[in-house]
Structure 1
Amino acid sequence: MALSRRAFVKTVGLAGAAGGGVVASTSLQGGETKNGWQTVDSTVEGTLYDTVMSTAGPVAVGGDGVVLLREPGGWRPILEHGPHVAGNGLLAADRTDDRSAVWFVGGGGAVGRYDVRSKTLIDFSAPGGKTSSWADLSVVGSAGDERVFLINGSGEFVAGDFYDGGVDWSDVLQTDAKGVSEEQGIPEDEPGSGSSALGLDFATSNVGFACDTTSGVYRTTNAGQSWQKIGIEDAQVGFQDVAALPNGRVVVAGGGGLLYSYNGSSWRKQQIGDDNIYALETGTRTVASGANGVVYEKGSSGWESTQTSTSSALYGMAYDRTGNYPDIAVGDSGVIVESGDYQGSLPNTIELTGAQDTSTSYRFSVTDVVARGPNTENAKVEEGHVASGVVGGDTDTFGFSGDISTFAVTGGDPDNLTVTVNGAKRSASSLGTATWEAMDVPFDGALYDVVNAGDDSYAGGEGGTFLHRTTDDGDAWEVVETGGPRGSGDAVRKLAASTDGNVVWAAGESGSLGRYTVTASTGDSGSRPKDGFDDHSQPEGHAGGWTALAVAGDAGNERVVVAGQSGGVYTGTYASGNDGVSWHATRITGGVAVTALDMETPQNGYLADENGDIYHTTDGGRNWDRIGIDGGDADITDLAVLGPEEIYASAGDGTVIRYNGRVWTKRFAGASGLNAVDAHDGDLIAAGASGKIYAKGTWQWEPQPTPTQASLHGIAVGHDNAPTLVSGGGGTVLRRHTNK
Structure 2
Amino acid sequence: MDDASERGTVGGFWSYYRRYTKTAVHAASAAALTGLGYLTTVHEGFAVLAVAAYVLPPVYLYATREESERPPPGGDADESAGESDTADAPSAGDETAPESGAEGASEDPELERDRWTTATVPTDATLRAVTADGRPCAVGDGGVVLARGGDGWRAVVDDGPGAASNALRGADATEDGRVWFAGDGGALGRLDADRVTDHSAPEEMTSTWNDVAVAGRAGREAVYLATGSGEIVRGRNDDGDLSWAAPVKPGSGSSVAAVAFDSPERGVACDTGGGVYETTDGGREWERIGAADAALHDVAFAGETLYAVTDDGSALRYDGERWTRRSVADAPLLAVAGYDGSTELLAVGEDGVYRRADDWERVDLPTFATFRCVATGEGGTAVAAGDDGAVVERTQGS
TM-score (norm 1): 0.41
Contact residue 94 and residue 324 of structure 2 kept, 8 A: no
Note if 1:639 corresponds to 2:318.
no
Contact residue 715 and residue 725 of structure 1 kept, 8 A: yes
What is the aligned counterpart of 1:485 among 155, 161, 173?
161
Partner Cα distance (1:548, 1:85) in 2: 27
Counterparts of 1:171-320 in structure 2, within 5 Å, are none
Note if 1:685 corresponds to 2:349.
no
Higher-RCO chain (CA-CA 8 Å, sequence separation at least 6) = 2
Residue 131 of structure 2 corresponds to which residue in structure 1? 451
Contact residue 606 and residue 616 of structure 1 kept, 8 A: yes
Residue 209 of structure 2 corresponds to which residue in structure 1? 546
Partner Cα distance (1:110, 1:485) in 2: 44
Contact residue 311 and residue 333 of structure 2 kept, 8 A: yes
Partner Cα distance (1:663, 1:489) in 2: 43
Give the gaps of 5 or more residues in structure 1: 1-42, 47-78, 87-108, 122-420, 518-528
Partner Cα distance (1:702, 1:116) in 2: 12
Contact residue 83 and residue 111 of structure 1 kept, 8 A: no
Residue 666 of structure 1 corresponds to which residue in structure 2? 325
Partner Cα distance (1:648, 1:562) in 2: 20
Deviation readout 1:132-187 (Å, 9 max, x if unpaired): xxxxxxxxxxxxxxxxxxxxxxxxxxxxxxxxxxxxxxxxxxxxxxxxxxxxxxxx
Contact residue 464 and residue 489 of structure 1 kept, 8 A: yes
Deviation readout 1:223-242 (Å, 9 max, x if unpaired): xxxxxxxxxxxxxxxxxxxx
Distance 1:558 1:451, change over 3 A: same
What is the DSSP-based 3-state SS (H/G/I as helix, E as strand, rest coil) of the residue aligned with 2:161? coil
Partner Cα distance (1:667, 1:113) in 2: 6
Counterparts of 1:535-574 in structure 2, within 5 Å, are 535-574=198-237
TM-score (norm 2): 0.73
Shift of 1:118: 1.4
Residue 256 of structure 2 corresponds to which residue in structure 1? 594
Partner Cα distance (1:505, 1:117) in 2: 35
Note if 1:530 corresponds to 2:194.
yes
More helix by share: 2
What is the aligned counterpart of 1:728 among 386, 389, 397?
386
Aligned length: 319
Shift of 1:621: 1.1
Shift of 1:494: 0.7
What is the aligned counterpart of 1:470 among 124, 149, 156?
149
Partner Cα distance (1:469, 1:45) in 2: 43
Shift of 1:80: 4.5
Shift of 1:636: 1.1
Residue 62 of structure 2 corresponds to which residue in structure 1? none
Deviation readout 1:670-723 (Å, 9 max, x if unpaired): 112111100102331100004x1110031x210112233321111111214x83
Shift of 1:83: 4.9
Counterparts of 1:257-656 in structure 2, within 5 Å, are 425-426=107-108, 428=110, 430-431=111-112, 435-454=115-134, 456-471=135-150, 473=151, 476-501=152-177, 503-517=178-192, 529-531=193-195, 533-578=196-241, 580-629=242-291, 632-643=292-303, 645-656=304-315
Contact residue 490 and residue 509 of structure 1 kept, 8 A: yes
Distance 1:627 1:435, change over 3 A: same
Letter of the structure 1 residue corresponding to residue 313 of structure 2: G
Contact residue 447 and residue 713 of structure 1 kept, 8 A: yes
Partner Cα distance (1:116, 1:688) in 2: 22
Of all paired residues, the percent bearing the same amino acid is 33
Give the gaps of 5 or more residues in structure 2: 1-65, 70-77, 86-90
More strand by share: 1
Deviation readout 1:58-80 (Å, 9 max, x if unpaired): xxxxxxxxxxxxxxxxxxxxx95
Contact residue 203 and residue 244 of structure 2 kept, 8 A: no
Contact residue 130 and residue 139 of structure 2 kept, 8 A: yes
Superposed CA RMSD:
2.9
Counterparts of 1:91-130 in structure 2, within 5 Å, are 112=94, 118=100
Residue 9 of structure 1 corresponds to which residue in structure 2? none
Distance 1:652 1:120, change over 3 A: farther
Partner Cα distance (1:44, 1:661) in 2: 39
